[in-house]
Structures are given as structure tokens and as C-alpha cells.
Chains A and B, each alone.
Chain A
Amino acid sequence: MRRFTMATLVVGSAATMLISACGSDNSGSSNGGSSGDPDLSTPQADLTGAGSTFDQPFFTRAFYQYNQLNSNVTVTYASIGSGGGISQFQAQTVDFGATDVPMSASDQAKAKGGETLQLPVALGGVAIAYKVQGVQTGLKLTGDVLGKIFAGQITSWNDPAITALNPGVTLPSEGITVVHRSDGSGTTYIFTDYLSTASPSWKAAVVPGKGKTVKWPVGIGGKGNEGVAGNLSPQQGKGIEGAIGYVELAYALQNNFTTASIQNQAGNYVTPSLGSVAADAAQKPNVSATNFSIVDQVGANSYPISGYSWALVYKTQTDTNKGTALVKLLDWLTHSGGQQQAQALEYVPLPANIQQLARSMLQQVTDSSGKTLLS
């Protein structure tokens, strides 16, 4: 019995030492920052953030790289959803929040730390994916046809409305299974925002037609992107034949979904891609937390179903160290340092004017004595 316990202790401590030795190899190897990076030196700070699940992969990678550049700052992010992010931020259990739909005025009133700044940190698109035998990627759909499909008014793939838009494509007679999100999400918000704008049929059929959740007239729900993606999987032997649904662009690109080309305001059918989403975003340089919708913008190459994700920061930071670390982190995040990480994960990099907008907002952050924290 005693030998057993001794053996366990020895093995246990050896394992722990091995793991911590390996672990410490990863962090702390700061290379002093390459030229072109803004000044990242800050005092020691452990920051926590919470919110949008859309941002999670991007944030994970960005904060990891940031820690490589400045080992003084560690960031823990809880992707509990935009709603959770807002309430944690309001209660000040986290240093910053992240949300796909900006805080409303009533939300801001409940924020315990005073005035809030909301800045765009990430940009993404919503792809319409489908699984129909014999139909390749690039099926052309207009906003109204899409709205009718999701409202249950068009129920089979060879409906005249769809075949009229796609003369060269043989569409089978099978039924359309709509797959929507069952959980509240910013992706749903962007998609329904688009449908409410571009589809009179949708706007008439579903009231309210826009929100993080809506009362879907037809279809099955998938939890999260993965739930929807599982039902749309293009792989043989998976997914539902005849299904159509909406997922984040990164999901569609990473998993080789067949995606629809959506008609934009200029009349062109645009494939969802990093470039077309960026083109759409660039059409609206004056976004703000109160005017944040960028769906269905003008422009020949704009992909109409796009949207930002927003970071929440208190204007007055009571802890100067943390505040300085936070604004420097967010500044790096919204500029080339962080946005390079975003692009590697197939998020759309923020347009230059939006990056400038973010910086100008961060320059409003002060400590309790009124001193600006971002130089």
C-alpha cells in the first residue's frame, strides 16, 4: 500500500514538472517586438473578456500572439455569447466585452462602470450553404427568393422562382429543408437584418423579421454553427439532402460548403469571400454603435450579408495599469498586428478607415484622473 502511494506521488510530480517545463517554453519568449508594431510595453496585467462566440477563434489566436510579443499581458476570454458578454461587462466581472450586436441605450445605462465605448474589432460574412444533389457551388439567389425560402413560401428546389434565376442548372424536385439557428446569435441577426432589408416577402411574413432569434415559420434548428453545419455537411453520407441554411463565412470556407451567390444591390450575383465582404464593409465608412448595419450595401462587388463584431470598453479606467494594457491590446487587435491573425483564420480584415475609427475611439479612454491612456 505504501509503495503504491509513493509510486503515485513520484509519477505525479514528475508529470507535473515535465508539463510545466514544456509549458513555459511556449510563453515568455518575447522577441522584443518587430519593427512596425506599435509600442506594446506595458506593466503586468491579467485581462479577462467575455462575449461573442463569433470572435472566439480570432481572439484565441490574437491573444496568444500578443502574449508572445508582450509576456506581461495575459488575456482569458470566455466565449459565452454576446448576451453573456454584455451582462458580464455591465457587472464588471470582466475587463472588456465582445458582442455581435452593439449595446442598446438601455443596456449602456445598466453598465456599472459608467460610459461605454463600442468599437468594431472583427468583420465577417454569412454564407448561404445548401446540399442538393448535382448542384454545384454558386447557385444564384436573390434576396426575395431567399426570403421566400426561409419563410416557407418556396418549398421545392425546382420551384420556377429558383429555376428562372439559374437557367443552366438542373434542379431536382425534392423538398427544401430549411436549417436555421436554434440559439440566439449575431449570425442570425445579420442574416435576418439582410432578409428584412432585401426581401419584402420575408418582411411581410415574419414579424419582427430581425433579431438574434426570430420565430422561424419552417425548418429545423441547429445549435450553433456546428449544429447547422452538421445538417448541411457536403460529405457523402452526412447532412440532410435538400437542406439550405446559413453559417459564418469561415465555417463555409473551412469545410468546403457549396454556397449560393447572392444578388447585391447593384444586381450582381456575388460569391461570399473575404474580398466581397470587405467590399461591402468599405461602402459604409461611418459605422457606429447606433448605426451598425452594413447589409445590402451598394457597390458592384459587395457581398450583401455581412456584419461587424464589437468590443466593449469603459471610457474611464479605474486601474491605470490594466487600462493601459487594455487599450494597447485593443489597438493592436484592430490594426495590422491583430488583423493579420484574423485573416489567417478567414475573418475579413477591418478596412483601413474602420481601423482608424477604432483607434480614435480608443484614444478617448482615460484613467480616473482624465489622462489619455493611448498615446
Chain B
Amino acid sequence: MSVAAAPLDRRAYIRDVSARTLRRRQIRGGVYTTLCGLALLIALVPIVAIIGYTVSQGIGAWSVQFFTHLPTPSGIPGGGISNALIGSLIIDGLASLMALPVGIIVALFLSEQRNAVAGAVRFIVDVAAGLPAITIGLFAYAIVVVPQGHFSAFSASVALAVLMLPVVIRAGEGAIRSVPPDLWEAGIALGVRRARVARTVILPAALPGLITASLLAISRAVGEAAPLLFTAIGSTFLVTNLARPMASLPLVIYLDGIQAYPDLQRTAWGTALTLLVIVVLLNLGARLLARRMRRYTR
């Protein structure tokens, strides 16, 4: 058989097999697709149920006072969660500042180098992902609160940063690895310094994944009360001093949610609803920002 004829035979063979098996493959594909769609529906049921429940329990607490006033004890109306809103902003903001840059740099480290050091770091990060939040809180208590001799918002930020790191690193590594190696090689081949390639080419390319990683980490941190129990412990006053105990949204949810008094329970659910809305806004804001930055760099 001549060289020119062989490829044509192969193409004809493939076309023939394709045509014969098309129906079967389409049906099989359809079944799997339906299963996947079903999986998506199953995944959506809990969030809809939880949102519905939280709204039903918490919307009654919402009012202008709720967001602008300091908390009042049970039985005294007119209270709010203003100090918790500001406290969460401060504590989570500081924690993010500590964890996100370091986490992304380590994610770069892990995605680039394949030696034993990288393997060891990845291993310990994976193990650390299984640490209970309360243990991290106790660690922060031991290394920050005890030496300083007092509870503080700073120790809470430390605890949350340690909580966020494994999520940022692992998810971030996945995001950076999914950037095609050609981009790296193109940059290096042009003689650009590695640091610059990473900063201007790789990170922007990995941006959607990095944003997901950051949002996952922040969402986790914003809703965890256990690390805050022994560090920031909460407050009924408006506190902005990092060296003092500070109020925070998840602490309000936990401490008020477990009370006997219905008005405090309602405050807890109202706070939970507030937290969900904040995360949605954060999510939207981050994605919008990413889109605008992408337009800017293109």
C-alpha cells in the first residue's frame, strides 16, 4: 500500500466506526450527563434549604438598628451587631493580609519545584488541613495570649491565618498548575526574570482559580467561632484596638445561638444571614474585580 493511501484508509476507518457507534455513545453520554445534572441538583438542595431556614429565622432581626447599634442584653430592645461587623472586618482583614500573600507564594513554590523540600511542605500542609479549628485556637492562645497576658484580636487573626493557609496553598497550587507550561517557557525564553514572569504572566493567568482559593479560605475563616473563643473572646463594646478582646460575627452566632432567650436566638440567626450576604457580596466583588483587572492587563 502506498504511503499516501494509508492515512486516507485510517480516516475512513475512524469515520466508519464513529458513525456506527454514534447512537450508542450518545445514549451513554446522555445517561451520564443526566446523572451529573442530578448530582448538581442534589448539591443545590442543602444550600437552598439552609438559606431558606436562615432567612426565615433571621430576617425578623434585620433593621437599621441591627446594623448600626451596639448589642443590648436579652430583654432590652434596640440592640445590634455593629461592633461585630467592624470586629469581623478587622480580624478577618488582618488574617487575610497575613495568610493570602504567604499562601499564594507557597503555592507558587509548590507548583514550581519538585524536590523533597516541596514534597515535605505539601505533606505537612495536607495534614494541617485536618486540624480542628478549636486546636488552632488553642495554639494561638498558647503562643500569643499567654505570653502577652491578655486576650486580643491580634491572636484571633493569627489563629484564622493558620486556619486559612492550607486552603489557600492547596487550592492555589491547583490553580497555578493548571496554567499551561508554554506561558512560563515563553516568558523565560524572552529572557524575562522568573519573578517577573510569575508576577505578570502566571498569576494573572491563574487569577480565577486563585480568587476561588482565596474566597474559600476567607469564607471558612469568616464563619468559624471556635478559634475565636480563646483569643478574641468577644465584646459588647465597639473595639478597634487589636490588643483588646473584640466582637466578631461568628462569635455572636455561637454565643447568642446557644442561649435560652428567643430574642438572642433571633439575633444569632440575623447575624448568620448577614454573614451569608457578606460572603455573597465578597464573592461578586472579587469576580467583578478580576474581570476588570483582566481587561486592564489585556
User: A251 in the interface, Cβ–Cβ < 8 Å?
Assistant: yes
User: A224 in the interface, Cβ–Cβ < 8 Å?
Assistant: yes
Q: Evaluate contact between A64 and B76: CB separation under 8 angstroms.
A: yes
In the docked arrangement, what's the CA distance between A23 and B84, Å? 12
Query: Do A61 and B69 form a contact, CB below 8 Å, given A27-B237, A48-B245, A250-B260?
Result: no
> Shortest distance in angstroms between B272's beta carbon and chain A's nearest beta carbon?
14
Q: Which parts of A247-273 form the interface with B (CB within 8 Å)?
A: 248, 250-251, 253-255
Report chain A residues within 8 Å CB of B145: 93
User: A16 in the interface, Cβ–Cβ < 8 Å?
Assistant: yes
Q: Which parts of B73-102 form the interface with A (CB within 8 Å)?
A: 73-76, 82-83, 85-86
Report chain A residues within 8 Å CB of B245: 48, 76, 78
Q: Name the residue among A22, A27, A251 with the largest chain B CB count within 10 angstroms.
A: A22
> Shortest distance in angstroms between B102's beta carbon and chain A's nearest beta carbon?
24
In the docked arrangement, what's the CA distance between A91 and B150, Å? 11
In the docked arrangement, what's the CA distance between A21 and B262, Å? 28
* Interface residue from B150, B234, B264, B296 paired with A93 (Cβ < 8 Å): B150
Q: Evaluate contact between B82 and A61: CB separation under 8 angstroms.
A: no
* Interface residue from A16, A80, A93, A345 paired with B74 (Cβ < 8 Å): A345
Q: Which parts of B197-219 form the interface with A (CB within 8 Å)?
A: none
Q: Evaluate contact between A26 and B75: CB separation under 8 angstroms.
A: no
Query: Do A76 and B236 form a contact, CB below 8 Å, given A61-B74, A254-B260?
Result: yes
The chain B residue with its CB closest to the CB of A63 is B236
Main secondary structure of the interface of B (DSSP, over half): loop
Q: Evaluate contact between B76 and A57: CB separation under 8 angstroms.
A: no
* Range for the number of chain A residues in contact with chain B: 35 or more
In the docked arrangement, what's the CA distance between A78 and B264, Å? 17
Beta-carbon contacts of B131-160 to A below 8 Å, as 1s and 0s?
000000000000001100111000000000
> Shortest distance in angstroms between A68's beta carbon and chain B's nearest beta carbon?
10
Q: Evaluate contact between B258 and A225: CB separation under 8 angstroms.
A: yes
User: B59 in the interface, Cβ–Cβ < 8 Å?
Assistant: no
User: B34 in the interface, Cβ–Cβ < 8 Å?
Assistant: no
Q: Evaluate contact between B72 and A226: CB separation under 8 angstroms.
A: no
User: B105 in the interface, Cβ–Cβ < 8 Å?
Assistant: no
The chain A residue with its CB closest to the CB of B229 is A80
* Interface residue from A19, A74, A345 paired with B75 (Cβ < 8 Å): A345
The chain B residue with its CB closest to the CB of A84 is B230
The chain A residue with its CB closest to the CB of B73 is A61
Q: Evaluate contact between A64 and B236: CB separation under 8 angstroms.
A: yes
Report chain A residues within 8 Å CB of B260: 57, 225, 229, 248, 250-251, 253-255
Beta-carbon contacts of B151-171 to A below 8 Å, as 1s and 0s?
100000000000000000000
* Interface residue from A76, A225, A250 paired with B235 (Cβ < 8 Å): A76
Q: Which parts of A78-114 form the interface with B (CB within 8 Å)?
A: 78-80, 84, 91, 93
In the docked arrangement, what's the CA distance between A65 and B72, Å? 10
Name A residues whose Cβ lies closer than 8 Å to a Cβ of B: 1, 16, 18-20, 22-23, 26-27, 48, 50, 56-57, 60-61, 63-65, 74, 76, 78-80, 84, 91, 93, 224-226, 229, 248, 250-251, 253-255, 341, 344-345
Q: List 16 other contacts, CB 8 Å, given A22-B68, A76-B236.
A: A1-B292, A19-B86, A19-B238, A23-B83, A26-B69, A26-B70, A50-B233, A57-B259, A61-B74, A61-B75, A93-B151, A224-B258, A226-B259, A248-B260, A250-B261, A254-B261
